[in-house]
Structure formats: structure tokens, C-alpha cells
Amino acid sequence: MGNIQMVGKSQGPMYKGEKPIEAGLAPMFTLNEIAKHAIDFWLSTEDLPQSDNRVTLAKDGNIRLSYTPSNIKPKEQLYKKLKSMINHLGMFEHLVQRNLYMKNEIDISGVAHQAGTCRFGADPKSSVLDTHCKAHELDNLYVVDTSFFPSIGAVNPGLTAMANALRVGDHLLERLGASTPES
């Protein structure tokens, strides 16, 4: 489904940046008080592949992104689960307005972990890279970032990308007949 994690503390001015219209109606001291008593969470779900999603180059040289959000229902279920867990705690119900929240969805421009633009597989007709992340059509081009991921999970992909880069590096050492320095 995804994950729920606590994150660092919000500050009043952050609300102004995230929700400028709503936060603009409140004085800063009110936003600071809300932030002081807030519990901050980050919800993230896997972004599943969509066959129509793609990055293309337009005739004028501009990059075009065609993207359709996916996994909407699990995202909504995850949010309901978080609300249920918080309500189940039953703490401070007399002090806290239970339905006051600064929910914010991040659109595609705020995505930090792009992935999936170079499908990999055995068949050059349906993939750009082979199973060693080498371009099918070029003998000396390897892609070792998150482009080869079929989807992007609900967690930071950094360690997986590094592990794959090491795997591809080992393949290149073997292919080139090189040896690793002894420790």
C-alpha cells in the first residue's frame, strides 16, 4: 500500500509556502501555534507504471512529460488508516480540533525520485536496456540510475540504485577482464 512516517517539525512560515491562500488568512502567530502543536507525517505510495506515461522531445526541442497519476485508491486508504490510528489514540480530544489539518499533495513538479524512463529486459522491441542495464543498440552505454526501475516504490530508491550500480560495475569488471584491487 505504501508507508506512513513521521517527519521533521513544521514551522508557521512553511504553512504560508505550502498553502498560501489558506495560510494567508491567518496571522503568523496563529500559524506558529498550530505548528507548535502539530504532529507531522509523510504518506507515500508506490507510483505504478502506466503505459501512456512517457518523456518525449518535441519538434521545438522542449521536453514533454505525459503523466497520469496512479495508485489513487491505496493512497486514500493510507490516509484513512493514518486518521484512524490518530483517532484511536483518543489523546487530548478536548484540546485539539480533530479535523484541522494542512493536508498537501505534491504534484509531478515536486517529485524528487524520477524513475522508469528506460525500461529494461531481454527483448529490444519492448525495452531500451538489457538485464545488465546496457543499451541494446549501443555497446558502451550503461544506465545505472533509477531509469531502469519498472515503478517507483513508496520509499527512497537511493540504496537500490547504488546496489544496482555496484552490480553493473561487477558485470563490467568481468566483461573487461579487469580485476579489483585487493583490500
pLDDT at 116: 84
Q: Return the higher-pLDDT residue of 177 and 16.
A: 177
Report the predicted TM-score, pTM, of the whole model to 2 decimal places: 0.67
Q: Say yes or no: 103 and 116 in one domain.
A: no
Which of 84, 107, 130 terminates a domain? The answer is 107
**Based on the domain organization, do 89 and 159 belong to the same domain?**
no
Mean residue pLDDT of the chain comes to: 84
Residue 121 pLDDT exceeds 60? yes
Domain ends where: 107, 142, 157? 107
- Look at residues 52, 83, 107 and tell me which one is the last residue of a structural domain: 107
CB 15 within 8 A of CB 102: yes
Q: Please report the pLDDT score of residue 50 as a whole number.
A: 82
Q: Quick one: what percent of the chain has pLDDT higher than 70?
A: 90
- Which of the following is catalytic: 88, 113, 132, 136? 113
Q: Any residues with CB less than 8 A from the CB of 79 and at least 6 apart, and which?
A: 43, 103
Indicate whether 20 and 45 sit together in one domain: yes
> Are the C-beta atoms of 144 and 161 separated by less than 8 Å?
yes
The answer to whether 94 is a known catalytic residue is no
